[in-house]
Amino acid sequence: MKKLILSIALLASSIAGFSQTALYTLDCEKFANGSSASSANNIGYDRAQCWGLGSFSYVTTPALLLNGSYSGQSNQASNLSITSSWIKTPWIKPGSANITFKHKISANNGTIRRIVLSYIAYDANAASAWKEGTLVRFDSVSYAAGSLPLNLTNVSFALPAAIRNSANPYKILISFVGSGGNSRFIVDDVFVDGIYVSDPSSAYCLPVPTIQDADSDGVADADDAYPNDATRAYNNYIPSSGFSTLMFEDLWPTTGDYDFNDLVIVGRQNIVLNAANKVVEIKINMKVKAIGASFHNGFGFQLDGVNPSKITSVTGTNTHNAAWVTTSANGTESGQTFANIIIFDDAFKILPSPGGSGVNVDPANPYATPAEMNITISFNTTVGEAIALSNISFNPYLIVNQERGKEVHLAGFAPTTKANASLFGTGQDDTNLTTGKYYKSKNNLPWALAVPAEIPYPKTKIDFLQAYKKFATWAESNGSSFSDWYLDLSDYRDNTKLYTAP
């Protein structure tokens, strides 16, 4: 018996992931050969795989066999109750093909012999531990005395339309009934079209939990951020919570007053993926908080390495027909090697000054509510054209005072195709295109900052290095010291030098 038990355990473990496994044909002889061959082992195997066999045995008598070395045998078919002798399938998700099997009557006696077919729905609320719901009869075949099938007969029954191709679990019950005499049904090769969903490791062979997937995209509703939209599945927020802060100094390539408030933006990106983990769209929520400049600066970003053709549309940008802004039909900037999006061409048209110098940099001047923008970038999701999350790399930059070629990027980020390369290495800039050093001074100080949190910025004309005391050490160490320089820790900030909104 050890070999049988081992074989049953191995099959049960393989069926544990059976969600796409067809129900096998009940041929009564899984152990037709070898030391395990026996009627008891065969029927034990099938019962272990959740087949129900009520008053039903396996036989080897040559005169009774229909196919192979073993066939099934009902109880004496002299009881008209459908629970007297039967075969019941495991839980399946029915297909559409007919139910078929071979059968004959063992002897020419009896007044009625009948096969009755029923289906049983799974009911999680049923009182029975087996969770079998209402039984519904759907077909039968009857034989009267004098016309009993004493030789092999093939029968076929159509699955009822009510359960055909269902996503819900059902069992099929085949009952063998009759009256008079003592003859029995001999049965073999029972085929029921369906996907096996019983769990042999469950005490009552219950079906595995059904995964709810309303939009049929292959992602369970519980894991799908868009359960009713097959084109979208996952959100990826950057940062994961709150907003990040972008701050620019627009006097590059000179350091100027170095107050990093010439343009201050806070924002958050959501990169939306489909079930195949390909980028569907990027949604950007951003606010222009401050303009500490007299220049009319523009703002945009490049998606490094992304061909502009990968984008199908851009919405939510705000440009005002500036001569230097040229866009393609898909909303990206024309004439660029990689995809560039110009968000706005003039910060003052997004956040107009309410009076005084700049906007929200001098506590003595009126305060303006930050201007909110929502940008959506849609991507080509055609197979072979779609891109992955790992392909997305944001490269934001300031465009100084309507001069398209004068770009100010984050330290270490490459300029776009339209940048004026003659400006590199002038003033305090130490950019070296050959070595890949971009937008840093000789002391590694940058002209643009991206911080993964919403932080205050200096008041007008206040040197950033005085407001954030650990910043210079962080920059000069190339990021190896005080990587948390922007946090509000002891002796990290001089809050008197930072702007606070009223």
- Sheet with strand 185-191: strands edge to edge: 56-59, 71-74, 185-191, 99-105, 153-157
Sorted by where each starts, the structural domains of the chain and their CATH numbers stand as 2-196 (2.60.120.260), 223-497 (no CATH)
pLDDT tens, 362-380? 999 999 999 999 999 999 9
Q: Return the pLDDT at 464.
A: 96
The DSSP line for 73-113 is: EESPS----TTSSEEE--SEEE-SSPEEEEEEESSS--SEE
- According to the 3-state scheme, what is the secondary structure of 268-336? EEEEEECCCCEEEEEEEEEEEEEECCCCCCEEEEEECCCCHHHEEEEECCECCCCCCCCECCCCCECCC
Q: Return the pLDDT at 426.
A: 97
pLDDT tens, 428-442? 999 999 999 999 999
CB neighbours of 62 closer than 8 A, spacing ≥ 6? none
Kindly state the average pLDDT of the residues 67-82.
97
Q: Are strands 99-105 and 234-238 parallel, antiparallel or unpaired?
A: unpaired
Among 90-94, 217-221, 306-310, which stretch is predicted with the lowest mean pLDDT? 217-221
Q: Is the pLDDT of residue 12 over 50?
A: no
- Per the CB < 8 A criterion, the answer to whether 336 and 404 are in contact is no
Three-state SS at 228? coil
pLDDT level of residue 401 (50, 70, 90 thresholds): very high
Q: Is the pLDDT of residue 14 over 60?
A: no
pLDDT tens, 178-205? 999 999 999 999 999 999 999 999 889 9
Q: Is the pLDDT of residue 500 over 70?
A: yes
pLDDT level of residue 20 (50, 70, 90 thresholds): low
Q: Return the pLDDT at 9.
A: 34
Residue for token pair 């980020």: 413
Q: Is the pLDDT of residue 5 over 50?
A: no
Q: Is the pLDDT of residue 3 over 80?
A: no
pLDDT level of residue 321 (50, 70, 90 thresholds): confident
CA atoms of 222 and 478, how far apart (whole Å): 43
Among 87-91, 161-165, 210-214, which stretch is predicted with the lowest mean pLDDT? 210-214
Q: Is the pLDDT of residue 388 over 90?
A: yes
CB neighbours of 133 closer than 8 A, spacing ≥ 6? 120, 121, 122, 123, 126
pLDDT tens, 231-255? 999 999 999 999 999 999 999 999 9
Percentage, residues of the chain above pLDDT 70: 96
Q: Is the pLDDT of residue 19 over 70?
A: no
Q: Return the pLDDT at 18.
A: 40
Neighbours of 487 (CB within 10 A): 14
In this structure, the chain runs to a length of 502
Q: Is the pLDDT of residue 11 over 50?
A: no
CA atoms of 234 and 388, how far apart (whole Å): 12
Q: Is the pLDDT of residue 343 over 80?
A: yes
Q: Which residues pair with 114 in a beta bridge?
A: 142, 177
CA atoms of 80 and 140, how far apart (whole Å): 13
